[in-house]
Amino acid sequence: MSVGGVVLSRINDYSKLAVFTVRKLHEVRPSVATAVPGPKSQRLKSNLDKVQNTGAVNFFVDYERSSGNYITDADGNFILDTFTQISSVPLGYNHPDLIAAASSPRSISSVVNRPALGVFPPVDFQDRLNGALLSIAPPGFSMVQQMACGTCSVENALKCAFFKYRNDQRGGEGPTELDLSSCMKNEAPGSPDLSILAFHSSFHGRTFGSLSLTRTKPIHKVDIPAFDWPGVDFPRLKYPLGDNSAYNKAEEERALSQVDAAFEQWKNKKPIAGVIVEPIQAEGGDNHASPDFFRGLQKLCQENNAAFVVDEVQTGCGATGTFWAHEAWNLPKPPDMVTFSKKMHTGGFYLQPSFRPREGYRIFNTWVGDPIRLVLLEKTIEVIQRDSLLDLVKQSGKIIIGGLESLQSKYPGTLSQIRGKGTFIAFDLKDDATRSKLMQSMLQSGVLVGACGPSSIRLRPALIFGEKECEIFLSSLEHSLKQLN
């Protein structure tokens, strides 16, 4: 058949275009010729709004002309992207190595013949897992479950926490006949009154279980029934850390005391089967905590036979300077589960053997992931290691933090609370209105940034974000701060 040859020919043409675009765009700075969003984006948005809600759409993108650290909008504006599709692009746009990986016959077969991995996995599936997800497994993990996205990764990790908790309650035995019959009526004991503890200002997804844990913006949750599960305060540190050590230590102890109290308060109501935490609360405002806090949290989980689940959907895959953010905590033992998605190309979670379901179909959907994503992840890992991108992330992070501190000294009433690890960086503006003006000013100068929390700006650049891009970002930020002041 000639279909495969036609597909390969078109992909090869696209690969040549992308490589050319990479080279061309790296020779120029951001270039903005229209308002952003421009007239083409506005027209496209108007058309799309006739068939679906477009309230969240910023502008339309020409992905074929986007390259490296730059995104190209529908109006031809070249924009330095420090937000990268909500922190989900590891190597920038149209990376030549990823295009080559996607162009292979194996990849094309995976796209055309997407398998139901839970029942009909391809013959090389284990090899793909070994070369991708298992090759960069967090220390202490040898098992992984692939999923499609972040929220379904969290959702299914919660299920595993409940499975383990109930098996322990039954003395290691599986479900009884009463469990099996009562669950069909949504009644105990088969549908038990158990809970998961999460933190205020956390974001863990938008499906029913994960949405009950999410506590960032009311619009995410309003009108939707939620599980009655406990929530406690996450530490709110003050910066610079060195000047606020006593306050920050007390703040973390306060948060841990709330966790301890919750275990006691809920044990006769809806026992806490697990605790889930982000290494850095991203959507909620880039809120950090110290390794001591996370070690203390894990200890409380162990004392109460609750799963310790680390949600690395945003922080995983190198953005903090280590492949997994929780590596910096020096935990006495690994977490029970670690969820991932975004820069990892695929969703899923790592789990300890005791949390692995015994029966088939307990963690299941039609596709349970996507083999083509493993191909892209394997190549991404290769590029990260070959090009020493974790070192670049650390170096770029230092440049950005240093530049922000200099700007804070110039504009102390406007910019504050500089914080970050690697290029996973944020800072505060004095209020939401100031943030909105600054973001639009920067976008009009050709730099896209993201927002989080009540008044923070967050940076989520690709791992290839280098010194030149740091300088362009800082220059744009200073120009916009001058305009505001």
- Active site amino acids: 203, 311, 342, 366
- Stated as kind and residue range, the H or E segment containing 339 is strand 337-340
Cα(121)–Cα(47) distance, integer angstroms: 40
DSSP-H helix ranges across 387-425: 389-410
Q: How far is CA 72 from the centre of its chain?
A: 23
CA distances from 445 to 50, 79, 84, 264 (A): 31, 8, 17, 53
Q: How far apart are CA 352 and CA 356, in angstroms?
A: 7
Residue 242's Cβ-count burial label (10 Å; 0-12, 13-18, 19+) is: exposed
Pair of tokens at residue 190: 């088969």
* Alpha carbon distance 201, 218 (integer Å): 11
Coil, helix or strand for 199?
Answer: strand
CA separation for the pair 288, 302 (Å, rounded): 22
Can you tell me which residue has the tokens 């991708």? 132
Residue 249, number of CB atoms within 10 A of its CB: 15
Residues sharing a CB contact under 8 Å with residue 452, sequence separation 6 or more, in sequence order: 282, 283, 284, 285, 286, 426, 458
Question: How many Cα atoms are found within 13 Å in the side-chain-facing hemisphere of 180?
Answer: 4
